[in-house]
Structure 1
Amino acid sequence: MSGAWARARVAWERARRRRWVRWGVDLLLVAVVFLAVSAWQTRRHPGAGTKPPDFTLRSLTGETVSLESLGGRPVVLAFWAPWCGVCGAESSNLSQLQRLAGDSARVVSIAVAYDSEADVQRFVDNHAVDYPVLLGDDALQRAWRVDSFPTVFFLSPDGRIQRSAVGYTTLAGLSWRWWL
């Protein structure tokens, strides 16, 4: 009986190790696919280390904000459209990131592809947006090569692009990209 039990136990251990190997290979494959899709989605964006297109925009509160005025600390710059449902889902993640970052970084968003300022204000009110919202236009959208929403750029303290992301990004994804 003990010999059969020992063989069964060895077989069980082999199967368990193979299961972990399969899970590891599956997770590695998912990570590779995720990174490939991310790279493909951001292939047209200004490259890492480049100076981004400059802007001076009016905020929803009436202030004038320039890209240069945001320098000195990291900036998370989110492009969105009021009609974009995914942008609404991501807005709470941006708010949470701003609370987590405190004074060590800025979260700023730029509304583009909107019909009226009232549409932007309605989005801000409906989604409890608590970070600055700037009013962009088609020319700015083209200059930054934004063709999907939401699109988020991560800028270094000296104002250079570090990385970008397209589509819904979780709080963990935003934090990871910001802290890198």
Structure 2
Amino acid sequence: MQGSPGALARLKSAWARARTRWWVRWGVDLVVFALLFTAVAAWQARNLPGGGTPAPDFTLTTLSGDTVRLEALRGKPVVVAFWAPWCGVCGMESSNLSQLRKLAGDSAHVVSIAVAYEDEEAVRGFVQKHGVDYPVLLGDDAIQAAWRVNSFPTVFFVNAEGRVERAAVGYTTLAGLGWRLML
């Protein structure tokens, strides 16, 4: 046991020397940031469906009047994005959803559900302003409650069998969307 204090002192000295290197400081800072970011994201999604739970089914109308049922989209993964027309972050994320839809091609579905809007014109205005080119479904309080959405944007990743695998709350980058879709 006599060697322990010396070993500990050498370890502290080595760590102090390592921390003088910029890449070690940055590396440690990045790891701490990543862990913190992951913890916050997990906390935000803690009450949302996920982990393989069955996705709440819906039958909703698009802006063009067509009807879409979640069950009809089975067989491919589905990205379901909830948003509100007044949500600035939703507007910033909309181009990421468009790009994800293009990148995924025929291998996945990307749909969005507008909720918390005053009227259909508000939804149309958002779609036009942000150049939305993915399907926009008109949701209501019932669908928002069924999916337990209380923040915008909220994105769900449903597997080909109709089970919610994961969810993300807040702005999600294209890389984040793609990574979650592929998992």
TM-score (norm. length: structure 1): 0.89
Instruction: State the partner residue of 1:127.
Output: 130
Q: Residue type matched to 1:57 in 2?
A: L
Q: Residue type matched to 2:161 in 1?
A: D
Write the deviation string for residues 54-106 of structure 1: whole angstroms up to 9, x where unpaired. Answer: 11111111111111011110111000000001101100100000000000011
Q: Distance in 1 between matches of 2:20 and 2:69?
A: 56
2:53 alignment partner, SS class? coil
1:165 alignment partner, SS class? strand
Of 168, 171, 178, which aligns to 1:168?
171
2:37 alignment partner, SS class? helix
Q: Distance in 2 between matches of 1:51 and 1:61?
A: 28
How big is the alpha-carbon RMSD for the aligned residues of Structure 1 and Structure 2? 1.3
Of 55, 59, 64, which aligns to 2:62?
59
Of 45, 49, 68, which aligns to 2:52?
49
Q: Residue type matched to 2:93 in 1?
A: E
Of 116, 140, 148, which aligns to 1:113?
116
Unmatched 5+ residue regions in structure 2? 1-16
Q: Distance in 2 between matches of 1:17 and 1:73?
A: 50
Q: Distance in 1 between matches of 2:167 and 2:29?
A: 26
Q: Residue type matched to 2:111 in 1?
A: V
Verify: 1:91 aligned to 2:94, yes or no.
yes
Instruction: State the partner residue of 1:151.
Output: 154
Instruction: State the partner residue of 1:136.
Output: 139
Verify: 1:25 aligned to 2:32, yes or no.
no
Q: Distance in 2 between matches of 1:91 and 1:65?
A: 20
Write the deviation string for residues 126-176 of structure 1: whole angstroms up to 9, x where unpaired. Answer: 111001000000111011010000000001011111110000111111111
Write the deviation string for residues 25-74 of structure 1: whole angstroms up to 9, x where unpaired. Answer: 11110011011000000001013100011111111111111110111101
Q: Distance in 2 between matches of 1:155 and 1:176?
A: 13
Q: Distance in 1 between matches of 2:105 and 2:97?
A: 12
Instruction: State the partner residue of 2:11.
Output: none
Displacement after TM superposition at 1:15 (Å): 6.0
Displacement after TM superposition at 1:179 (Å): 1.1
Q: Distance in 2 between matches of 1:60 and 1:70?
A: 18
2:151 alignment partner, SS class? coil
2:81 alignment partner, SS class? strand
Could you tell me the percent identity over the aligned residues? 70
Q: Distance in 1 between matches of 2:19 and 2:65?
A: 62
Unmatched 5+ residue regions in structure 1? 1-13
Instruction: State the partner residue of 1:101.
Output: 104
Number of matched residues?
A: 167
Q: Distance in 1 between matches of 2:158 and 2:169?
A: 15
